[in-house]
Amino acid sequence: MDYAATILSKLPGASKRDHGLRHLVDTLQTYLPKEQVATVMRAYEFGAEAHDGQTRKTGEPYISHPVAVAQSLAEMHLDSEAIMAAILHDTVEDTEASITDIEKSFGTEVALLVDGVSKLDQIQFRSQAEAQAESFRKMMLAMIEDIRVILVKLADRLHNMKTLDAMPGGKRKRIARETLDIYAPIANRLGINRFKVELEDLGFRNLYPMRYRVLDRALKKSKGSQRQIVKRISEEIGKTLAEEGIEGEIIGREKHLYSIYRKMAEKKRMLSDIVDVYGFRIVVDDVSTCYKVLGLVHGLYKPVPGRFKDYIAIPRLNGYQSLHSTLFGPKGLPLEVQIRTREMDRVAESGVASHWQYKAEDKVDATPQRRARQWLSRLAELQQSGTSEEFLESVKVDLFPDKIYVFTPKGDIMPLPKGSTTVDFAYAVHTDIGNRCVSAKVDRALVPLRTNLNNGQTVEVITSRGAKPNPNWLTFVRTAKARTAIRNHMKKMRTAESVDLGKRLLDRTLKDLGSSLRKVGKVRMKAALEELSLNDTSELFEQLGLGERLAPLTARFLLGVDDDGNSETNQASLTIAGTEGMVVSYAKCCYPIPGDDVMGYLSSGRGVIIHRVSCGNLSNFRKHAEKWIACSWEDSIDREFSSQIQVDTFNKPGVLAEVAATIGDCGSNIEQVEVLGRHEDCSMLSFLIQVKDRKHLARILRDVRKMPNVVRVARDCA
């Protein structure tokens, strides 16, 4: 009798409720001592009795779910405490058992894990954008306290997704959305590829069932011919390795559906362009053989220039290591090849859970664990300051990474999110370096601090002892660490010094306008404070000193300055948040409308001029960063804005009238029409029209584009 059968025979009624238990025991005995397997079986008996009589929506006995969760973790060789927590994770929530009962029977460690998972089960997400920030913070903190909590939760979510068909449609879509928005990115960040891939495909199937079926059907049709090509290429690579005496495993990879869907959506490419890329993984014994195999494969098939990545020398943030190369295969077919060692392959699939040694002294030597711990320690720093919303925004940057790698002057590699600036780099080196940076060099050339960094650049930060962070940096920094450090420094300045600074800034600005704090008077100041929802002048001065309010805006607000007294302008000022009491106008070079990303420029005598962020004229203002104002649209705007569109039409009688009628049918008024140019066949027409927002404009462009005599229509670029 085998070991699994021996244990099962000791459990009363086990044969009747062996829902995956035998498989679990077989897996556990491959890496756990017998006494630990016996303890896990005690946990199973406890859970089976607690859930006795309960069934899942699928009709199966409830205990089948915790056993399936434990099986997923056992396949990654997690310790016995994590396996027991997986088996018991629903007992506190769904049965009469308590945390105290679990602690008495299985110890404090298992009880804490079960308690952590139970608290996570109470979290409800709607989407990435609408996630409850405080609940999200709790999830991250649970990971910081014991990362096994989130591993159990990921395994729990995976099995729930596999049985999601039993749920009603609305709930199924909500769960699928939060899986794609929250849980799959966490699995990716922790390097657990097997969880990430399954969670993404299951989430995709349930959120977009029609798209999933179309892609799945198309892939199955092409699999017959693909199988022959994959077999042929695998044999050619295998023969080449054998000739050199190299032992290696060659695996033809199939792209998972969600990966294909995202590539099609992001790159705007046809399905055939994505599907016809063949993937191969070559697994060998050691690192030196990886590079040797790379040379052999490049000799067999020509590499595509610029498509080689060395993740062995420069691992990804989640610990992933491999050589990636894209090749021209037979008949020009593109091949994607990954070359890695067996150890790297285990890490690629299990990430932070690979070779789990939670209590081992040498755990810091395990790359995935070390990188996960570094990430979690950064989260611990972030959560100590700022609001829950700020914390959520910060963590999103890490959960949805698009990384670049730059170098320090000494040659050390520094990974950063795409779009990072030299200030982000400075804070990544050390918080003190970031706080004291005054300028930077990229590839030995001086550049502005807001310069975006690219892959492979060498960055040097120049510091000054008396330098301090600039509040304006918050408008362009990308990383959570930089943003948090700048905010922390600003908060530490909340002293008499910041109040004094704000007072001096405001007084100086008032004098530029021919007034002063004394002339403003207590009555006007009191009324202004009430309008701004502030308690006293100290609070106002403090905000000015910290950069939370701009002195020029506040001074004009106190004086009630209105340059032209235009009532329409006063109405316009309500549409832009953060410009209380200011004259607001909209730039005619780019015609911003609600929904556009915008910025304000403080113009002497003209108030705040709103530009689109993409406006070409902004380059003229970059020398005056102190006049930039961060702006955003109010949520509800009930007015119309000017926008300019260009329409290219065939030269036919009545075309202008047809286009004008279509624009009018969309509920828009035409302010001005201009003929920009006329050729033999085509005319270029410019329309200045009234729209409510970007959606309104998009509807007009769509309807005009459908007209038979219209060649092209576009919004005039700034």
Over residues 74-103, mean pLDDT: 87
- At CA 290, angle to CA 284 and CA 292, rounded to 5? 115
Confidence of residue 222 (pLDDT cuts 50, 70, 90): low
C-alpha span between 68 and 75 (Å, rounded): 11
Residue 622 has a pLDDT of 57
Task: Say how far apart CA 234 and CA 249 lie, in whole Å.
Answer: 10
Higher per-residue pLDDT: 271 or 123: 271
Take residue 346 and report the two structure tokens written for it.
Answer: 């285990």
Of 65-79, 338-352, 608-622, 704-718, the range with the lowest mean pLDDT is: 608-622
Q: Which residue in 308, 318, 375, 377 sits closest to 349, CA to CA?
A: 318
Tens digits of residue pLDDT in 350-406: 766 654 544 333 444 455 556 665 666 666 555 555 555 555 555 555 565 567 778
Token pair, residue 142, equals 């649970």
CATH code of 402-490, in short, is 3.10.20.30
| 138-174 as b/e: b if 16+ CB within 10 A | bbbbbbbebbbbbbbbbbbbbbbbeebeebeeeebbb
402-490: same fold as 3-207? no
**From residue 294, how far is each of 124, 196, 243, 309, 315 by CA, in Å?**
46, 27, 15, 11, 17
Per the CB < 8 A criterion, the answer to whether 613 and 592 are in contact is no
The whole-model pTM stands at 0.55
93 is an active site residue: yes
pLDDT above 90: percentage of residues in the chain:
16
Reply yes or no on whether 536 is catalytic: no
pLDDT at residue 124 above 70? no
Whether the pLDDT of residue 208 is over 80: the answer is yes
Q: Give whole-number Cα distances, 183 to 129, 139, 178, 189, 198, in Å.
A: 14, 11, 7, 10, 11
Nearest residue to 162 via CA among 308, 313, 58: 58
Reduced to 3 states (helix: H, G, I; strand: E, B; else coil), residue 38 is: helix
Q: Where exactly are the structural domains of the chain? A: 3-207, 210-352, 402-490, 496-633, 641-715
Q: What share of the chain is helix, strand, coil (3-state, %, to 5)?
A: 55, 15, 30
At 662, is the pLDDT very low, low, confident or very high (cuts 50, 70, 90)? Answer: very high
Collapsed DSSP state (helix, strand, coil) of residue 168: coil
Q: What pLDDT band is residue 170 in, cutting at 50, 70 and 90?
A: confident
Query: Where is 261: in which H helix or E strand?
Result: helix 257-267
Superfamily of domain 210-352: Beta Polymerase, domain 2 (3.30.460.10)
pLDDT of residue 297: 92
pLDDT digits (tens, 9 = 90+) for 525-545: 888 888 888 888 888 887 776
Q: Answer whether 416's CB lies under 8 Å from 404's CB.
A: yes
Token pair for residue 210? 């029609």
Q: pLDDT value at position 70?
A: 92
Tokens of 208: 């977009």
Q: Tell me what pLDDT residue 14 has.
A: 47
Residue 199 pLDDT: 93
At residue 220, the pLDDT reads 74
Binned at pLDDT 50, 70 and 90, residue 309 comes out as confident
Strand 459-463 versus strand 682-691 pairing type: unpaired
The tokens for 516 are 């002063």
Token pair for 631: 């702006």
Confidence of residue 578 (pLDDT cuts 50, 70, 90): very low
Report the DSSP pairing between strands 584-586 and 607-612: parallel
Can you give the pLDDT at residue 15?
Answer: 46
Q: Which of 622, 643, 648 is CA-nearest to residue 716?
A: 643
What pLDDT score was predicted for residue 552? 74
Banded pLDDT at 569 (limits 50, 70, 90):
very low
The per-residue pLDDT for 8 is: 59
Residue 223 dihedral angles phi and psi, to the nearest 5°: -70, -30
Q: Which is catalytic among the residues 49, 60, 94, 121?
A: 94
Identify residue 185 by its one-letter amino acid code: P
Query: Among residues 317, 110, 80, which one has the least CA distance to residue 102?
Result: 110
Q: Chain-wide mean pLDDT for the chain?
A: 79
Q: What is the pLDDT of residue 573?
A: 36
pLDDT at res. 387? 53
Taking the C-alpha atoms of residue 564 and residue 586, their distance in angstroms, rounded to an integer, is: 15
Question: How would residue 200 be classed by pLDDT, with cut points 50, 70 and 90?
Answer: very high
Separation in Å, CA 468 to CA 267, 404, 452, 503, 552:
42, 27, 21, 19, 22
Whether the predicted pLDDT of 145 surpasses 80: no
Average of per-residue pLDDT across 578-586: 60
Q: Helices (DSSP H) in 384-479: which residue ranges?
A: 388-399, 422-429, 431-436
Return the number of other C-beta atoms located less than 10 Å from residue 396's C-beta. 17
Say if domain 641-715 classifies as CATH 3.40.718.10: no
Query: What is the average pLDDT across 421-446?
Result: 91
Lowest mean pLDDT among 36-45, 215-224, 582-591: 215-224
Topology of the domain covering 3-207: Hypothetical protein af1432 (1.10.3210)
Are 22 and 39 contacting, i.e. CB atoms less than 8 angstroms apart? Answer: no
Spatial separation of the C-alpha atoms in residues 93 and 487, rounded to whole Å: 39
Residue 667 has phi, psi (to 5 degrees) of 80, 30
pLDDT, tens digit (0-9, with 9 covering 90-100), for 583-597: 677 888 889 998 888
Residue 456 pLDDT > 70: yes
Cα angle vertex 623, ends 618, 626, to 5°?
95
Structure tokens at 426: 């400075």
| pLDDT value of position 718 | 44
- Give the H or E element holding residue 329: none
Angle between helices 480-492 and 367-383 (to 10 degrees): 30
pLDDT (0 to 100) of residue 337: 92
3-state SS assignment for residue 247: coil
- pLDDT value at 229 more than 50: yes
Return d(Cα 76, Cα 645) in angstroms, integer: 57
* pLDDT > 50? residue 92: yes
Pick the range with the lowest mean pLDDT from 86-95, 164-173, 237-246.
164-173
For the cut 80, the answer to whether the pLDDT of residue 626 exceeds it is: no
pLDDT at 567 over 90: no
Q: Give which of 19, 105, 114 is closest to 64, Cα–Cα.
A: 19
Tell me the two tokens of residue 524.
């006007």
Q: Which of the residues 93, 145, 276, 626 is marked catalytic?
A: 93
